[in-house]
Amino acid sequence: MKAEEYVQKAYQCILQNDFEQAVEWFEKAISAQPDHAEHYFRCSVTYARSGRLEQALAYAEHAVRLAPQQDEYVLHLHAQEARQYTEKARKMLEVDRATPQMRQDAILLLERAISLDPLCGDAFLLLALIYDELNEYKLAVQAAREAAALFPHNVQLANLMKKLCQQMNEQI
């Protein structure tokens, strides 16, 4: 079977929401054409949809190594890196007693995530929550506004915005 046929099989699986099988077909396409960046890119996108961030990142990096001039591949790589930084920050904050240093490190990770992918709403939301904990309401509101622009129908975020604005007004 040719690589293009494997890719077609992968797309059929995606249409059936069978991402695991789709990954297997993309892997076969990669084996058939190991220097074809598009296969790595599509496999990375499929891994990302499955929540398998490490594999998504590895394949995105490989696609960019093979075709660094492809803006779509670079943007996807940045989005995967941003997701990874955001997830790392989230894990740092899940510790029962996150220290001030851990919060500052998480802020740096989230700022890095946002610089890589300005559409990373989860990073903005987490940043707003950290700033809220630190009583930095102006920064919290700024981050929450960005998140709200990306998630306009999120009721919890709207409630957070209202709470932050009230706290900021009380602080004045």
In the chain, % of residues over pLDDT 70: 99
CA distances for 87 relative to 119, 123, 132, angstroms:
15, 9, 19
Q: What is the mean pLDDT of residues 15-38?
A: 95
pLDDT, averaged across the chain:
93
CA distances for 13 relative to 19, 25, 61, angstroms:
7, 9, 24
Per-residue pLDDT band for 7 (boundaries 50, 70, 90) equals very high
- φ, ψ dihedrals at 110, nearest 5°: -70, -40
Determine the Cα–Cα distance for residues 164 and 19; give it in Å rounded to an integer.
40
The tokens for 153 are 């129908």
Nearest to 3 by CA among 42, 24, 36, 29: 29
Q: What is the mean pLDDT of residues 14-37?
A: 95
**Of the candidate ranges 32-46, 91-105, 138-152, the one whose mean pLDDT is the lowest:** 91-105
Full set of structural domains in the chain with CATH: 1-69 (1.25.40.10), 79-171 (1.25.40.10)
Per-residue pLDDT band for 157 (boundaries 50, 70, 90) equals confident
Nearest to 116 by CA among 155, 88, 74: 74
- 3-state SS string over the chain? CCHHHHHHHHHHHHHCCCHHHHHHHHHHHHHHCCCCHHHHHHHHHHHHHCCCHHHHHHHHHHHHHHCCCCHHHHHHHHHHHHHHHHHHHHHHHCCCCCCHHHHHHHHHHHHHHHHHCCCCHHHHHHHHHHHHHCCCHHHHHHHHHHHHHHCCCCHHHHHHHHHHHHHHHHHC
Are the C-beta atoms of residues 117 and 110 closer than 8 Å to each other?
Answer: no
- In the prediction, which pLDDT does 172 show? 60
Predicted confidence (pLDDT) at residue 77 exceeds the cutoff of 70:
yes
- In the prediction, which pLDDT does 71 show? 97
User: Beta-carbon neighbour count of residue 123 at 10 Å?
Assistant: 30
